[in-house]
Chain A
Amino acid sequence: MERIELLKSINDVFIDVLDNEDIQLTEKTSATDVEDWDSLNHIQLIVAIEKKFKIRFKSDEIRSWQNVGEMMDSIETKL
């Protein structure tokens, strides 16, 4: 999957989970940039992303992410 395609897929998950059509993620986007991306919604986002890509994350890698790009790096290693 191309990087841009992956970003769009993740963006779709964010729109769905956070119920916000205006979300436009970039690789530099972090939790502070997105309204409602709090700790509870973070859990919902991770569960939804795991489901969409049929992958599983480790808690350590989730904690290490600083932005969406790093999340994408993790996903790419599992596809």
Chain B
Amino acid sequence: MILSKGDNFKESFIVTDDVYNGFIHVFGDRNPLHTDEQFAIGKGFSGKVMHGNILNGFLSYFVGECLPSKDVIIHGQEIKFPNPVYMNDRLAFEAVVSEISEAVGVAIIKFKFRNIFGKIVAKGEIQIGML
């Protein structure tokens, strides 16, 4: 098993123009909350709210590229978005292995994304299988 309970990881991500535009280009979600500054402000936000699922892209990168082995697969994940993410937000990502099932080669990793004010903008857990 390449992971042990308590292993922790840190990464940093930025929701850049490229990431935001790439997401819209690929998936087509142009809901005004994400694309219309005035609409988003009218709903009580400080500006266009970045798609929460952009953070799932960062999670995919984390699992696929940042773990000590490439022999991994995501079995499932849960994510909540307690606070909004805005354009060019720098996000601190923290992850810790919370459970290991040696018998079936599975690790549960809990994670949080925080903005520069320390607010949690996303949190959840991923179940990873070792191939």
Contact = CB atoms under 8 A, between A and B. Distances in A.
B109 to A, nearest CB: 13
Contacts, number: 35
B75 A43 contact: yes
Interface centre among B99, B103, B127 (most CB of A within 10 A): B103
Grouping DSSP codes into helix (H, G, I), strand (E, B) and loop, the B interface class, with mixed when no group exceeds half, is: strand
Interface residues of B, number: 12
A58 B103 contact: yes
Grouping DSSP codes into helix (H, G, I), strand (E, B) and loop, the A interface class, with mixed when no group exceeds half, is: helix
B102 A59 contact: yes
A16 B36 CA distance: 40
B104 A59 contact: yes
11 contacts: A40-B75, A43-B106, A43-B129, A46-B106, A47-B127, A50-B103, A57-B101, A58-B103, A59-B103, A59-B104, A62-B104
Interface of A: 40, 42-44, 46-47, 50-51, 56-59, 61-62
